[in-house]
């Protein structure tokens, strides 16, 4: 599985997601511009000593991701989707895309792929989950569907 963070802003969230990737074998994709340096001490602290277990890709823009990963299922996580994250039949090489903390994914991207947009159910008054929590919820649902292949 692949976790794609489009323009992440908070190093602690990205560090937590890197730790999630390390624990699950997911690859991490960071799409520029980043709101921090990948040398950031908060980023490294959140990932603790797991960074050596994470395959990290840095992309100049999201178009680069689309070009490099043609043929992969790509799911766009947003609070604006009709389809729930648990409605998807995930495959081992799927791309799970998350937007930046303050704004989510760009509307034009969501408009371009409405059938591939998914959301995590929550009450109406809740704006959204923390980015690293949302990534964990979706990744573990996808892995559950695959019987946690490769995990013990």
Q: How many CB atoms lie within 10 A of CB 38?
A: 14
Annotated binding site: 99, 120, 128
Annotated binding site for S-adenosyl-L-methionine: 99, 120, 128
**Max CA-CA distance within the chain?**
40
DSSP 51-106: GGG--EEEESSHHHHHHHTTTS-EEEE-TT-SEEGGGS---TT-EEEE-BTTTBS-
122 token code pair: 């929550």
Q: How many C-alpha atoms does 1 have within 13 Å on its Cβ side?
A: 31
């Amino acid at each position: 599985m692949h976790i794609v963070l489009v323009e992440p802003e908070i190093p602690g969230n990205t560090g937590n997601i890197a730790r999630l990737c390390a624990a699950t074998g997911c690859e991490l994709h960071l799409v520029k511009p980043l709101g921090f340096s990948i040398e950031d001490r908060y980023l490294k602290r959140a990932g603790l000593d797991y960074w050596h277990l994470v395959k990290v890709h840095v992309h100049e823009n999201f178009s680069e991701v689309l070009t490099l990963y043609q043929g992969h299922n790509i799911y766009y996580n947003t609070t604006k989707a009709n389809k729930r994250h648990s409605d998807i039949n995930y495959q081992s090489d799927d791309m799970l895309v998350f937007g930046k903390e303050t704004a989510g994914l760009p509307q034009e991207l969501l408009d371009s792929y409405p059938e591939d947009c998914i959301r995590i159910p929550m009450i109406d008054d809740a704006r959204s989950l923390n980015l690293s929590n949302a990534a964990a919820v979706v990744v573990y649902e996808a892995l559950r569907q695959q019987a946690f292949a490769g995990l013990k």
